[in-house]
């Protein structure tokens, strides 16, 4: 396994739209294992392939307390969205920034698992937020894009200073 490099906002590669996976082969499984290792190492609760510069529809999530409940979503689709909730989100591609975003409260998601088998789950609370946040990455969208242009510019400046090392 390997720890992958996570793209840092505002890297333009984060705006790439991911393509569906057409075959869950050994290469995809290795990527999933590396993404999971990268997420646990960070540590984070969710990571999209876009963030490691692979533009395929793959997400790994673990919102459990003991970090032993990895959830893999390949080619995820949201069928149903109900209600709304505000949650203070963060992102491994935007370290040190936490802002409140409004998203659906409860969702039904269909996807393929690590073995390419279709499944369907209903999610709410933090898991629902996390799935929607990671699915945005696959569409080339970062959570700061929900904020005002002023806030986005402040975050961009902060990130660029951090990346220069001052």
Identify the active-site residue in 65, 88, 99, 134: 134
Q: Are 58 and 28 in contact (CB under 8 A)?
A: yes
Which residues, including other chains, have CB under 8 Å from residue 127's CB and lie 6 or more apart?
Answer: 61, 63, 71
91 binds Co ion, rule: CB under 5 A: yes
Our CB check for Co ion shows the closer of 28 and 94 to be 94
Taking the C-alpha atoms of residue 140 and residue 121, their distance in angstroms, rounded to an integer, is 24
Our CB check for Co ion shows the closer of 72 and 91 to be 91
Which residues is 124 bridged to in the sheet? 106
Closest CA to 141 of 6, 4, 10: 10
Is 134 labeled as catalytic in the residue annotation? yes
Which residues contact ligand QAP (rule: CB under 6 A)? 42, 44-46, 87, 89-92, 95-96, 129-130, 133
**Residue 62, contacted partner among ligand QAP, Co ion, none, CB below 5-8 A by kind:** none
Give the interface with Co ion as residue ranges (CB under 5 A): 91
Q: Which residues are catalytic?
A: 134
């Amino acid at each position: 396994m390997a720890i992958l490099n996570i793209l840092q906002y505002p890297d333009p590669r984060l705006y790439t739209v991911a393509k569906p996976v057409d075959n869950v082969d050994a290469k995809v499984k290795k990527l999933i294992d590396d993404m999971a290792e990268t997420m646990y190492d960070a540590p984070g609760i969710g990571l999209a392939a876009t963030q490691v510069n692979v533009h395929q529809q793959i997400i790994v999530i673990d919102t459990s307390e003991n970090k032993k409940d990895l959830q893999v979503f390949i080619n995820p689709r949201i069928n149903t969205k109900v209600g709304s909730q505000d949650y203070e989100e963060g992102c491994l591609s935007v370290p040190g920034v936490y802002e409140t975003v409004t998203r659906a409260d409860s969702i039904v998601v269909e996807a393929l698992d690590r073995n390419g088998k279709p499944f369907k789950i209903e999610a709410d609370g933090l898991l629902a937020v996390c799935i929607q946040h990671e699915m945005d990455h696959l569409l080339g969208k970062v959570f700061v894009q929900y904020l005002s242009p002023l806030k986005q510019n402040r975050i961009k400046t902060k990130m660029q200073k951090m990346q220069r090392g001052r």
